[in-house]
Amino acid sequence: MRSLGSLGGLVGLGAAINNAGQVAGTSWLEDFSERPFLWDGTSGIQDLGSATGATTRAFAMNDASEVVGIDWALSAMAVWNDGVLSFVHHPTGATPFATDIN
């Protein structure tokens, strides 16, 4: 058991761990916005970024360090791959989000 730290807020939640020991999750900031993070033993906790700066969560990660989650403000599934954030929008306007990735 170890502390992963936070992105400056009071609460952080690890949501997924891969075989390399990296952890993806969400950190709540002091203004109560939510930011996704990636943690590893070398770099520590890193903010994955958000297009809106508002509530964005990470839910899952695979062994290639690809992280998936949601940007609630955009109503879109968020995908982080090598530090690049992209989005998947549902054609009907529903809010998609991924809870797992292989």
Q: Which stretch, 10-19, 48-57, 87-96, has highest mean pLDDT?
A: 10-19
Please give the Cα distance from 50 to 74 (Å, whole number).
10
Q: What are the pLDDT digits (tens) for 27-38?
A: 998 888 899 999
Note the pLDDT of residue 93.
78
Q: Which of 4, 16, 9, 7 is nearest to 68 (CA)?
A: 16
For residue 32, the model assigns a pLDDT of 84
> Is 57 or 97 the better-scoring residue by pLDDT?
57
Which residues pair with residue 80 across a beta bridge?
A: 67, 85
Helices and strands per DSSP (H, E), number in the chain: 0, 8
Q: How far apart are CA 36 and CA 91, in angstroms?
A: 25
Residues sharing a CB contact under 8 Å with residue 41, sequence separation 6 or more, in sequence order: 21
Q: Which structure tokens are listed for 78? A: 């968020």
pLDDT digits (tens, 9 = 90+) for 8-47: 888 889 999 999 999 999 999 888 889 999 999 999 999 9
